[in-house]
Structure 1
Amino acid sequence: MNKAVNIDVSRLSGEMAFLLLLLQDAASLDEETARGYASALDWNAFVELALHHRVYPAVYLKLNSLASIVPADTMETLRYHHHSNTFKMLELTKEMSRISGALAEDGIRSIQLKGPVLAIQLYGDLSLRTSKDLDILVDPDDVELAEATMARLGYEAADKHDSDPNWKRKYHHLSFSHKERRAEVEIHWRLNPNPVDKHTFPQLWERRETVPVAGLSFYSLGKEDLLYYLTDHGARHAWFRLRWLVDIARLVPHIRAEETDRYFKKHGGRVFAGQAFLLASALLRADIPGALLQMTTGRKAVRLAQDAMFFISKIVKLNPVPEKSAVWPYLKYTLSLMKPKQKWLYLLKHLEPNIEDRQQLPLSKPFHFLYFPLRPFLWLWRHIIN
């Protein structure tokens, strides 16, 4: 196996070490080894980790063959969540088909970013990956049309952006929910929040792949675009869910190393890919192609991988907003991802009033200028005090 730079994993709990062993795709876990771990495990803490990291489907299947060493209540809990997830993924697939068909009818091209399509792409089985919502990418010029389509399908927008003329530059997706269908959907028009992202929708559409799901065909990102998207997304969220790293470990064997290396040199994101490769290699024993190992040797990639271990090794909730104890560590981590110019743009962007500020403190239009000096206090109230 090609080796990336070592990341210190010596301080992981026994529960986390066993969880990682179960998630290693090529690991042959014999009963004797499993018994060695099981004898010292806090099974309640283990289940909590599996649920937090959203990896319980694969964990359940691995443990099912070793059920004799697992407490019955633990297996029943994992079985319940595994079966619930299977039904959830089937419901999402049905809704994905309905939305994709409606968008196509309205002349809107769409690409599935995660959800059931990613489960089939990387795992070959809907039930082996979890998803709470659908993420759909459309052309920026079609966002307003997509909003109308979602409204026609009975979806309600989570945020109102009419009062903000710069909403498409500030944000990269809109959230929608359907009460009766209990479905959540995000309509994206960029792969990430960076307003100067080099990817254009026509380019992504040209490189798209077709993925069959439940007898239907859907579009997904091409392999290199998908790796870029997943590593960028994971880095921004500090990899606080192991599910995202398992995605990387599953995707790596299917990428073309030399072409991927050229892709990241052209589009950027090499540091984030290096971070992902380091973590996937250290935690999941992913085999990183030799042509891509150079991405793992940079000082920043190594530092970011080590910093991410703080959020991976324990239960830290960062979504939809960081828990109070993680606000400052996560802010520090987020700024460390950026170059100096990006840090200034990030800080300036977050000094601008946003939709949350207007909802938290409605002001009439003549007094909108007050949002600028008040914004730091509104942010502190939402994330620290309240």
Structure 2
Amino acid sequence: MAISHSQCTASASGQNADDLHGDHVQLLQATLWLMGFEQPFSAPAVPALCQFIRHHGVAGLMQPNRVKSQAPVCLAALNAERQRIAIRALALGAGLKRLVTGFAARGLQPLALKGPALAVQAYGNLGARGGVDLDVLLPTEQWPEALAILQDMGYHVAPGQQWPLPDATHELVLAHGQLPRIELHRRLLRHQHLLHAPQRMTQVLDLQGTEVTCLAPAYALPYLIAHANQHCFRRLIWLMDIHALLQCPDLDLELLASQVKRSGTCAMLDTCLSLLTLLFGLKVPAPLQQVRRPCRASREMVELALDALRRSLSDDQVAMGQGLFKRVSLDIALQDTLAARWQALVGWLSPTAKDLQWLALPRGLSFLYPFVRLLRLALRQRGHEV
């Protein structure tokens, strides 16, 4: 299924807007074609194509036969991208093995999120998926032990992070001079009301001789959909992960549909399925068709995602383009119930570590922190880094 210009709504301005729009669509189509999907292909400028592929993290998913069909200069550049992501994937895999082994020796069992575990689970190939860090989830009561282990390994709390974590913050970033960065999660998502008790639905993978626990596909998919929605589905690798897991032969689609409904991600699922159909030609399975929730918000998210995908936007660029009110209102509208919408609003107003660091209020005035958060968000929207 080819992506038309009308399906990728242009937002560029000025006399060269049509040219810029065409270039962006061409890059997206060329990348999808290299990944094995049926899209029109006309060779774009090699540096721009490599930059696009690198941004979207899909170099490891390019089809070797299609890469080999390119002109020598393009072939060399694309192979360099594949090598870069493979080296990074191996480093992350080694880091996860080291982390799991160290935790297991002290009786802890981390839940690996995304990264190397997902590469093996979704693609059967560690080198298919790179990344910049390792994401692991542990119950909060195990964090003191985990942090002690990580400190012994040479990790330290990254600059700008705060420990203990504020209620609105769900992860702590730890840095190391030579090893991959680690994001330690105490819950799956920023919104506390989504996807509870993930430890109940897990599976164990063999990561080059080390047993690694991760989310089972029927629970991983609602998580991956909600995570991608949190970032406006702006990277192809996140959509490819979901697409790949949907192809798992042992995936229980009825169970998946029930988990989507239970987790409150039916509108987010509608956005995701629309994008998968448009980009990859997915034929939506009947159980998922029955629980998806088409709505105005999900359609708006599709348009927003297509623009972000096409133009390789960052989170900040997407937020700047949306505006504060639109970003918050769209996120709230994509929640499936009134209770969830209220909880999402509370989540947006809950102060983060950066809010607390930006303005230290006396204990008696801590109730004002929601207003501090709104002020920081407004200043950030106006282009002032705070």
The TM-score normalised by the length of structure 2 is 0.82
Report the CA distance between 1:171 and its aligned residue: 2.1
2:245 equivalent among 251, 255, 260: 251
Distance, in Å, in 2 between the alignment partners of 1:150 and 1:22 is: 40
2:176 equivalent among 170, 178, 192: 178
Relative distance call for 1:367 and 1:198 in structure 2 (3 A) is closer
Report the CA distance between 1:244 and its aligned residue: 0.6
Q: Is the 8 A contact 2:97 2:207 kept in 1?
A: no
Instruction: Report 1:117-156 matches (<5 A).
Output: 117-156=117-156
Residue 309 of structure 1 corresponds to 306
Q: Is the 8 A contact 1:8 1:306 kept in 2?
A: no
Residue 28 of structure 2 corresponds to 16
Report the CA distance between 1:342 and its aligned residue: 4.2
Residue 113 of structure 2 corresponds to 113
Distance, in Å, in 2 between the alignment partners of 1:231 and 1:211 is: 21
Residue 67 of structure 2 corresponds to 64
2:236 equivalent among 239, 242, 252: 242
- The root-mean-square deviation of aligned C-alpha atoms, in Å, is 3.1
- Give unpaired runs (5+ residues) of structure 2: 10-23
Distance, in Å, in 2 between the alignment partners of 1:265 and 1:324 is: 31
Residue 16 of structure 2 corresponds to none
One-letter code aligned to 2:80: Y
One-letter code aligned to 2:208: A
Distance, in Å, in 1 between the alignment partners of 2:346 and 2:286 is: 40
Residue 334 of structure 2 corresponds to 337
Distance, in Å, in 2 between the alignment partners of 1:96 and 1:86 is: 15
Q: Is the 8 A contact 1:316 1:323 kept in 2?
A: no
Q: Is the 8 A contact 1:139 1:201 kept in 2?
A: no
Distance, in Å, in 1 between the alignment partners of 2:127 and 2:342 is: 42
- For residues 37-81 of structure 1, the C-alpha deviation after alignment (integer angstroms, 9 at most, x for no partner) is 23xx3443322321221112223735432123xx60x33333223
State whether structure 2 residue 195 is matched by structure 1 residue 193.
no
State whether structure 2 residue 304 is matched by structure 1 residue 292.
no
- Give unpaired runs (5+ residues) of structure 1: none
Instruction: Report 1:202-221 matches (<5 A).
Output: 202-203=199-200, 207-221=201-215
One-letter code aligned to 1:265: K
Report the CA distance between 1:208 and its aligned residue: 1.5
Distance, in Å, in 1 between the alignment partners of 2:342 and 2:293 is: 27
One-letter code aligned to 1:101: T
2:258 equivalent among 259, 262, 267: 262
State whether structure 2 residue 76 is matched by structure 1 residue 82.
no
One-letter code aligned to 2:356: R
- Partner SS for 1:170: coil
2:163 equivalent among 146, 161, 172: 161
- For residues 167-207 of structure 1, the C-alpha deviation after alignment (integer angstroms, 9 at most, x for no partner) is 2x3222211111232x111111212122233521442xxx3
Instruction: Report 1:351-366 matches (<5 A).
Output: 351-362=349-360
- Partner SS for 1:385: coil
Q: Is the 8 A contact 2:55 2:312 kept in 1?
A: yes
Q: Is the 8 A contact 1:296 1:302 kept in 2?
A: no
Relative distance call for 1:122 and 1:8 in structure 2 (3 A) is farther
Distance, in Å, in 1 between the alignment partners of 2:169 and 2:8 is: 39
Distance, in Å, in 2 between the alignment partners of 1:291 and 1:272 is: 15
One-letter code aligned to 1:48: Q
Distance, in Å, in 1 between the alignment partners of 2:81 and 2:26 is: 22
Relative distance call for 1:226 and 1:346 in structure 2 (3 A) is closer
- Partner SS for 1:47: helix
Q: Is the 8 A contact 1:7 1:305 kept in 2?
A: no
Residue 273 of structure 1 corresponds to 269
One-letter code aligned to 1:247: D
One-letter code aligned to 1:188: H
One-letter code aligned to 1:294: Q
Q: Is the 8 A contact 1:275 1:304 kept in 2?
A: yes
Residue 53 of structure 1 corresponds to 56
Distance, in Å, in 1 between the alignment partners of 2:102 and 2:320 is: 40
- More moved, 294-303 vs 270-279: 294-303
Report the CA distance between 1:102 and its aligned residue: 1.5
Q: Is the 8 A contact 2:5 2:25 kept in 1?
A: no
Distance, in Å, in 2 between the alignment partners of 1:115 and 1:157 is: 20
Relative distance call for 1:276 and 1:375 in structure 2 (3 A) is closer
Distance, in Å, in 2 between the alignment partners of 1:323 and 1:197 is: 22
Q: Is the 8 A contact 1:135 1:186 kept in 2?
A: yes
Distance, in Å, in 2 between the alignment partners of 1:367 and 1:289 is: 52
- More moved, 189-198 vs 223-232: 189-198
- Partner SS for 1:220: strand
- Partner SS for 1:112: strand
Q: Is the 8 A contact 2:198 2:219 kept in 1?
A: no
